[in-house]
Structure 1
Amino acid sequence: MGNRLDRDQVVGTALELLNDVGLEGLTLRRIGKELDVQAPALYWHFKNKQDLLDAMATEMLRRMNALQEREQEAEGGSGTGTWQETLAGSHRTLRRVLLAYRDGAKVYSGTRFTDTSYAIPMERFLAPLVRDGFTPGEAARAFYTVYCFTIGYVIEEQSAADDPGRGVKGIDVAERAERLAEFPLAAAAGAELFGDADAGFEAGVAAIVAGIAATRERGRKVN
């Protein structure tokens, strides 16, 4: 196993296995068994599990970028949407990609990309904000704020991997409401916090984007 194609094969196999065994069960030994090689052979390409996770996150990013480009082409778009649309749309796609893999958000967070392929979507996502008057630093902070929300939200979603039908964190909202009957506000919060995961995500992103817009407007008035 001494060429780049083999490295890519290991990463692809690891991403496939992730859905079966989860992050905790994903070991170099388990990947080696799937590829019918001894685990030490994989150390030719990856010095440890973190090194592999970095490569997996990079491949997930590449796939997300390819998906966004295909969707943009299919819609006949030119990437000239508003900064609000760009912030929401890019993270909507990120969530979809992360949800395609068990523990996808945990794999993606805290890793370091292995090449500069991340710069391609970053340029595309930040451009509409800069065109609208954000400084590069302000654009980066706005993007990173929505990114952190998305990662955290998906980690919470995927904590119910063994029973995804029960909603965010695997909580049965009706059962929770009964259990908290003497705490009406806490009981009522369940439907919003642990019910429709898609609606919850959209509401969160909308609130953050609106907050960024309001903060910018307030700053303009002060200046």
Structure 2
Amino acid sequence: MSSPSTPARGRPARLDRTRTLRTALDLLDRSGLDALTMRRLADAMGVQAGALYRYFATKQDLLTAMAERMMEGAAEAAVTASAATADGGDWSERLTALARAARSALLTHRDGARVFAGTHATGESVLGFADALVGVLREAGFSDDAAARALYTVVNYTVGHTLEEQAALQAQDESTEDAGALRDAVTAGTYPHLSATLPTLTSTDFTGLFEFGLDLIVEGLRARQAPSAAAPAE
């Protein structure tokens, strides 16, 4: 006799939320976001599409849960950042570590940034990450308002950059002609400034590009940092 947690021989594994999310992420990696439908997910799990709605009322609910699962890695970095705060580590190093962790989490899955950008996840992973980032700045002396605005700035920059990065990588995989489209357009026209910077504009060093923008954000925040926090009192 089968136990409640073990399917009878010849029957599909019992449907549950964890298995559904794992299968959805596998489908995302294989086929991309546009091809991920509730029907294809149900087929991959060997169930009727209606059975999925027991756990996810809509596809948007599924995508939100997927975004939350993706951010688990970034949430782990948030724990490390919180520990560093207690040890008195530099706020900018902790903030950049969190941004890098978020980018890495989104890059772990195909179209990860697209999935995350279309959701408003409020699970423990996402909120834990956000709380850690805001905490880094508040501990550094930034006002509550500035810390909250900085959170949006860092997250929006990270998601936007990763969105473009994944789109560029996918275009390269699908067509070698697309990779030179910008170069061809610039050289065919009269764009002296773009021509001079073309090597950087067409660079595939996405990490270098990300780090440059992240440095700009950090330096901008540092310039606005409260004087009392920026330098010790005499």
Question: TM-score range with shorter-chain normalisation?
Answer: 0.7 to 0.9
Query: 26-35 or 110-119, which moves further after superposition?
Result: 110-119
Inter-partner Cα distance in structure 2 for 1:147 and 1:90: 10
The equivalent residue for 1:131 is: 139
TM value normalised by structure 2: 0.78
The equivalent residue for 2:45 is: 35
The equivalent residue for 1:213 is: 222
Deviation, 1:177, is: 7.6
Task: Render the CA deviation track for 1:162-182: whole Å, top value 9, x for unaligned.
Answer: 34469xxx6338943873464
1:78 aligns with 2:67: no
Q: 1:39 to 1:145 in 2, by over 3 A?
A: same
Answer whether contact 1:83 1:128 (CA < 8 A) is retained: yes
Inter-partner Cα distance in structure 2 for 1:134 and 1:69: 18
Matching residue's letter, 1:6: D
Answer whether contact 1:146 1:208 (CA < 8 A) is retained: yes
Inter-partner Cα distance in structure 2 for 1:177 and 1:218: 47
Q: What is the correspondence of 1:66-145 to structure 2 with a 5 Å cutoff?
A: 66=76, 68=77, 72=80, 78-80=83-85, 81-145=89-153
The equivalent residue for 2:165 is: 157
Answer whether contact 1:91 1:150 (CA < 8 A) is retained: yes
User: Structure 2: any 5+ residue segments left out of the alignment?
Assistant: 1-13, 230-234
Answer whether contact 2:113 2:159 (CA < 8 A) is retained: yes
Overall identity of the aligned pairs, in %: 37
Query: 118-127 or 54-63, which moves further after superposition?
Result: 118-127
Inter-partner Cα distance in structure 1 for 2:73 and 2:26: 14
Answer whether contact 1:180 1:186 (CA < 8 A) is retained: no
Pairwise CA RMSD: 3.2
Inter-partner Cα distance in structure 1 for 2:222 and 2:90: 12
Query: 52-61 or 170-179, which moves further after superposition?
Result: 170-179
Q: What is the number of residues matched between the two proteins? A: 211
User: Structure 1: any 5+ residue segments left out of the alignment?
Assistant: none
Q: 1:188 to 1:39 in 2, by over 3 A?
A: farther
The equivalent residue for 2:179 is: 171
Task: Render the CA deviation track for 1:175-220: whole Å, top value 9, x for unaligned.
Answer: 4387346422112333323312111000000011111211336899
Inter-partner Cα distance in structure 1 for 2:198 and 2:43: 43
1:64 aligns with 2:69: no
- 1:118 alignment partner, SS class: helix
Inter-partner Cα distance in structure 2 for 1:189 and 1:177: 14
